[in-house]
Structure 1
């Protein structure tokens, strides 16, 4: 893992970067607001909060501490981190309840669109001597009926061997360990990368304050992020984890699902590990 100085520097900048990425997404994907839905959701959210205050006899000191913390979350730019770590998994669960194909999970705060397009067999952009165990991630994209989906894309991003993401940590090349692979005519892909490491979410800002106050840990298990798409089919956003990895059973974001756990095996020539994982997409 990174030393403390590097990790703290990264945490200080990552909130602002995540906020800016989300604002850009909202400018291009702005949705119409249904006033009746807003009324229902906000009214019930407030009612649930009122119930918590009454049941736990919240004091003014606790209320003021909450106000101070909420203000600081905004000042730190950590709303994307807070929401993606502690709320997004339930939104994803509801949104994809009827999906028949591959399981999805949270996107997280570190997605960046428009990564470099790569052929069906390719290495993700990485530095010379990139740390970590070499990993070949391969598979096929197909429909619910088993038809290979030529023209599908497998968009992939991940942390490096120090748990850091390009564009959210200083000193990393812009597209390090980020790429969009275009599958072959049989829906196949072979992506050469490294196996990422577990990492702590940033802890030197407001989310870290909450974690310490509640006595929680801040760790996410090692994972690969993916968005898999094909014309006429539903996009799946997911993360894939590693069998036996640290914090697979107690992920702070509670985003791990049994169907999303990989079990890589050693490559015959001893140069790393490999794993096959296929994606099945629902019709749009």
Structure 2
């Protein structure tokens, strides 16, 4: 007898290795040409920081060997995308977008999947008939820095379900569950219906979880919507939007929360659930 798996059977190594495979297939490093001088500079400074830590804290061979074993485990579990996206990406994002005049963004995270279904506004994200969570109407406008509406802008959205799992990274979920790309109207306006996601812990049964347990940290991320907002002639905005009142806004394990990214949903007057309006302002593409 074959037992059908559900999202609660998700394993860190399975989702981690899938995230690793997706990163390899993404093409993000295909055009990368870094001068040797730049590689030498960065590598030497990272190593110098490691050396300083070893000397300052008198790191022992036992601790060094534990580190080697853990690093091997991160690779075996395919969790380098998770590790880097949770603990490092927020600083990369910060320095990469510091000159922008438009909306603040934040990290992409490891669970993005390109090619989600294209939906005309007003839209309903793909979801199960019995999808858990509070219904949410998310609406707004996409504009340029000078206020010009950006007709036909794409608002790509994905998020975890009410149990904290992402489609395509946990078994038993429909392929595009809670994922879609909404096309704004001629005035840059968009509206989509979904459900509010729940806070969740990053996977704790793999190498990253071992680090969290060994350090006495928590593994929680506040509930959030992931977005990529784009329009011709403008810079892509990658963001996460959070919800007022979430207990992990101030101690997000991924350090990705910014005050500008916190939503303040209100009860809908015409239907069950909540609604929120949030506008996106995109910077012009670099020349």
TM-score bin (small chain): over 0.9
* Secondary structure of residue in 1 paired with 2:158: strand
Unaligned segments of structure 1, at least 5 residues: none
1:23 correspondence with 2:24: yes
Corresponding residue of 2:147: 146
Corresponding residue of 2:101: 100
Structure 2 Cα separation of the partners of residues 27 and 231 of structure 1: 20
Q: TM-score, normalised by structure 1?
A: 0.96
- Shift, 1:221, TM fit: 0.3
Paired residues for 1:142-221 under 5 Å: 142-221=143-222
Q: TM-score, normalised by structure 2?
A: 0.95
**Contact 1:103-1:238 at 8 Å conserved across structures:** yes
Corresponding residue of 2:114: 113
- Shift, 1:10, TM fit: 3.5
Q: Compared with structure 1, are the counterparts of its residues 76 and 94 closer, same or farther at alpha carbon in structure 2 (3 Å cutoff)?
A: same
1:252 correspondence with 2:253: yes
After superposition, what is the alpha-carbon deviation per residue over 1:183-214, rounded to whole angstroms, capped at 9, x for unaligned?
A: 00000000100000000000000000000000
Structure 2 Cα separation of the partners of residues 144 and 16 of structure 1: 39
- Shift, 1:249, TM fit: 1.1
Structure 2 Cα separation of the partners of residues 214 and 28 of structure 1: 32
Stretches of 4+ moved more than 2 A in 1?
A: 5-12, 26-30
Corresponding residue of 2:80: 79
Structure 2 Cα separation of the partners of residues 217 and 243 of structure 1: 20
Unaligned segments of structure 2, at least 5 residues: 1-5
**Contact 1:7-1:202 at 8 Å conserved across structures:** no
Corresponding residue of 1:276: 277
- Shift, 1:129, TM fit: 1.4
- Shift, 1:32, TM fit: 1.7
1:241 correspondence with 2:276: no
Q: Compared with structure 1, are the counterparts of its residues 29 and 235 closer, same or farther at alpha carbon in structure 2 (3 Å cutoff)?
A: farther
- Shift, 1:36, TM fit: 1.4
Structure 1 Cα separation of the partners of residues 242 and 249 of structure 2: 7
After superposition, the CA RMSD in angstroms is 1.3
Structure 1 Cα separation of the partners of residues 198 and 39 of structure 2: 40
Structure 2 Cα separation of the partners of residues 77 and 198 of structure 1: 23
